[in-house]
Amino acid sequence: MTFDASQLKFDDKGLIPAIAQDDETGEVLMMAWMNLEAVEKTLETGRVTYWSRSRQSFWIKGETSGHIQELVDFRFDCDKDCLLVRIRQTGAACHTNRRSCFYTAVRNGEEVELMAPMA
Q: Residues annotated in the binding site for Zn(2+), as ranges? A: 78, 94, 101
User: How many whole angstroms separate alpha carbon 91 and alpha carbon 44?
Assistant: 23
Burial pattern 4-27, b for ≥16 Cβ within 10 A else e, equals ebeebebeeeebbebbbbbbeeee
Annotated binding site: 77-79, 81, 94, 101
Distance in angstroms (rounded) separating the CA atoms of residues 29 and 76:
17
Binding residues for Mg(2+): 77, 79, 81
The total of other beta-carbon atoms located within 10 Å of residue 72's CB is 14
Distance in angstroms (rounded) separating the CA atoms of residues 80 and 84:
11
Amino acid, res. 93? A
